[in-house]
Amino acid sequence: MLKITPHLGILVVIVSIAGLWFPLLGYFLLLVFATLMVTSYFRGRWFCGNLCPRGSFNDFWVGKISRNRKIPNILRSYWVRIPIFMLMMGFMGYRLLSTQGLINQIGMVFVIMCLVTTTIALVTGAGISPRTWCTFCPMGTVQNLIGGSKYQLKTDESKCINCNKCEKVCPMQLDVHTNNDKPDCIKCGRCITACPTKALAFKA
């Protein structure tokens, strides 16, 4: 992860709460959307593990109160993720059409979406695991579909000693040390740091 990553969580709190009084803060989400769309083409879900304010919020804030349970596999299924994506995008689209193009009202739509999704992330993160929301996040799903095969984590099997330290630190609870594709890897690099034999690396 980047040095700035642990400090980005404050941004989602500012937009979710202060945005109720200053709706223009909602337009920050457009910057987030644009950035993740661009980076996903080259590095998959790299944005999620390095620049996502909600990801930072989940890891470094919600993580302090999380029960740290296993994330249910059903939440990773596209049978769950695609309907959630369509529901949330449809709701946001409907709300945007009802604003009649008024700048403040458009901003408020984004603020409400941020507040709702942050609340879901907080509840699921505290009750299950910090990154539970990220397993079915609509924007994470989009990045998965666009660039899930890019910048894959690879294991040098000649160096791997099967200590499983990499899997213990993976916030997405992935099967890290195999060479299977991991489209939902958020490229945070914690597994690489934890590996005692330097068997892990990202490959373009």
Q: What is the pLDDT of residue 31?
A: 95
Q: What is the pLDDT of residue 145?
A: 92
Cα atoms in the 13 Å half-sphere on the side-chain side of 41? 5
Determine the residue type at 37. Answer: M
Handedness of CA 20, 45, 180, 178 (dihedral sign): negative
Cβ proximity of 32 and 55 under 8 Å: no
Backbone angles phi, psi at 199, to 5 degrees: -90, -10
Q: What is the pLDDT of residue 180?
A: 87
pTM for the model stands at 0.92
The gap from C-alpha 40 to its chain's centroid, in whole angstroms, comes to 12
> What share of residues in the chain are helix, strand, coil (percent, to 5)?
60, 5, 35
Low-confidence residues in the chain, pLDDT < 50 = none
Length of the chain measured in residues: 204
Q: What is the pLDDT of residue 178?
A: 86
